[in-house]
Amino acid sequence: MKYEQLAKDTIAHVGGKENVSSVVHCITRLRFKLKDKTKANTEALKEMDEVVTVMESGGQYQVVIGNHVPDVYQAVVEVGGFQNHSQVEETEEKGSLFNRFIDIISSIFTPVLGVLAATGMIKGFNALFLSLGLLEETSGTYQILNATGDSLFYFFPIFLGYTASKKFGGTPFIGMAIGAALVYPTLSDVTATEPLYTLFSGTLFESPIHITFLGIPIILMTYSTSVIPIILAAFFSSKVEAVMKRIIPDVVKMFLVPFCTLLIVVPLTFLIIGPIATWAGQIIGAASVGIFSLSPIIAGIFLGALWQVFVIFGLHWGLVPVAINNITVNGSDPILAMMFAASFAQTGAVLGVWLKTRKQKLKTLSIPAFISGVFGVTEPAIYGVTLPLKRPFIISCIAAGIGGAILGAFGTEGFIIGGLGIFGIPSYISPTEGLNFAFWGSIVSIVVAFILGFVLTYLFGGVNREEKKDETTERKPVDAGKTNVKVEENLVIASPLKGEVIPLEEISDGAFASGALGSGVAIEPTEGKLYAPVSGKVSALFPTNHAIGLLTDDGAELLIHIGMDTVQLNGKHFTNHVHQGDVVEQGQLLIEFDIDAIKNDGYAVTTPVVVTNQVPLELMTTNQTKLQAGDMLMQA
């Protein structure tokens, strides 16, 4: 591990891992919350070669590292055994209800998706072997593979009990115990006996009663493969457990907390939570399939075309639990099936770029992106190739929409949550009908999407047009008031803000004031709009939108940090208009921020603008004190 020794030394000098309550990072520094700050050896930390400086602010002990802080943070987490919260820990409770829902769903399902896909692939290939006559259902090989494929999904409540409890702040093993109770085999066998009586007879919720708990009737449901009941039970369990921890003496907490929690939560899950959650799942499943059935082709176009956009913004997590629930309730899911062609459309577009471009760097990026795309991993293709070029990404979305329309027309459905890319093909084999019409629709869709993505990108992707634009040495002039300055041989940095220029050494943040993070100036903004001071690429954009890094075509790295310690605002009062990896033009609006609101919350808006890497020439700054956005600020 590259930064292992640095991580060990840093942890030792902050008082050891037992002195660390939590650690997160921002764009340049590690931010520790220490139990006792007097145990930290600040001077020793400052003397370390890879530490820029050490500061204390906002209740945090800040070790300034520089641009490679994410890598150092990972090393600190691994060496110290800390929870990997990164920057999310302080922001996950903020934001809209929808964003919090997406965060909860992604946190619960992400840890198991790899194994879920792996077992789904095994089950899918087993179905393929059966359809091709290579295996028989009675063979031992088929049964062992089927057991492996079914293992996670059948006992899904146990796995989700762990991840959901961890997300909600409960003890993961208590969540697992609740999940195990839901799929306990003996209870499943009870439903084969004659019922004692029936509740809600003649209604949609008619339920035979086979057993009771303390005389209260229990409506037994099939909880294997279920999703919603265990998530709700884990949430309720975390609340009960928190109460138990407060009222039970420390000396017996270890066993009495789980004892009391399980005695309360498991019966209530069987009596109330489980049945209500199951009925809710059935309603969600019926509703989603019903909406889809109104027009499968339109649904296919919509989901196929926008799937990659959903992935970029993390919105696809809202559909994953719906799909899993549909498979649980109905045995199949048409929702996620509609996006199957998207990765092939993206891969075809990358192939078009690879064959068309004359730029060696882009060719080099396209080869691994194409290979990973074949197997369904499209992030390298999206962020490294098609999205920066814009047109190929749009073309891939169009091709994916047409592929989705074909899937809808064929009535293709997924029967398992399987692999991605070519490994996802077995997911669409019907357990009862085998290689049916709908399955062949999935094959047609991916072939069509791939060919369209390739051909349209090759012919109309504008690849060489973009390259020509990138390779030209002509730059747009900087609006410097009465003087227009052209960037030809020298690096000219325009003012990203309207406001008053302040010498860097006069600001309150010691890391910036010392010049340790780079040469530059600071601006006291009078307007809450941050514009690109140069043309280049967004190399870093912190999730809280308070800081942004830009990389110019000349190789200069700029860091603009809006305000002092504004990371503590967790994104409040900031609105971004670009994303990491975007190519921007000088003068383009990057971020908007509310100056008055930030000040009212107790933070300064003084904004350092620094060049973080070594510039061949000494920076010359403007002699003006008040600037408009776009006026010349610095020149190398």
The per-residue b/e assignment along 564-580, b for 16 or more CB within 10 angstroms, e otherwise, is: bbbbbbbbbbbebebee
* CB neighbour class for 121 (10 Å; exposed up to 12, middle 13-18, buried from 19): buried
Residue type, 407: L
DSSP result, 488-506: SSS-EEE-SSSEEEEEGGG
H helices of 183-252, where?
185-190, 228-247
DSSP codes of every residue in 201-235: TTSTT-EEE-EEETTEEE-----TT--HHHHHHHH
CA atoms within 13 A on the CB side of 240: 22
> Which amino acid, residue 177?
A
The b/e string for 78-98 (b: 16+ C-beta within 10 A; e otherwise) is ebbebeebbbeebbbeeeeee
* Beta strands at 557-561 and 492-494: parallel, antiparallel or unpaired: unpaired
Residue keyed to tokens 């500061």? 55
Name the residue with tokens 């060696």.
360
For residues 142 and 333, give the distance between their C-alpha atoms in angstroms, rounded to a whole number: 24
- The values of phi and psi at residue 574, to 5°, are -120, 140
Residue 415 is given by DSSP the state S
Distance CA 203, CA 200 (A): 6
Phi, psi of 469 (to 5 degrees): -65, -40
Candidate list 11, 20, 26, 491, residue with the active-site label: 26
Helix/strand/coil for 531:
strand
When computed from its CA atoms, the radius of gyration of the chain, rounded to whole angstroms, is: 29
Cα–Cα distance measured from residue 457 to residue 345, given in angstroms and rounded to the nearest whole number: 10
**Across-strand partners of 583?**
537
The β-bridge partners of 492 are 635
CA angle 595, 596, 597 (to 5 degrees): 95
H/E element, 171: none
- d(CA 155, CA 373) in angstroms, rounded, equals 31
Q: How far is CA 474 from CA 471, 486, 489, in A?
A: 9, 9, 10
Q: Is the dihedral of CA 16, 21, 27, 29 positive or negative?
A: negative
94 contacts 29 by C-beta, under 8 angstroms: no
346: amino acid identity, one letter: Q
397 is catalytic: no
Taking a C-beta distance cutoff of 8 angstroms, is the pair 65, 51 a contact? yes
Taking the mean position of all CA atoms in its chain, how far away is CA 249?
Answer: 40
As a whole number of angstroms, the distance between CA 487 and CA 470 comes to 15
User: What residues are labeled active site?
Assistant: 26
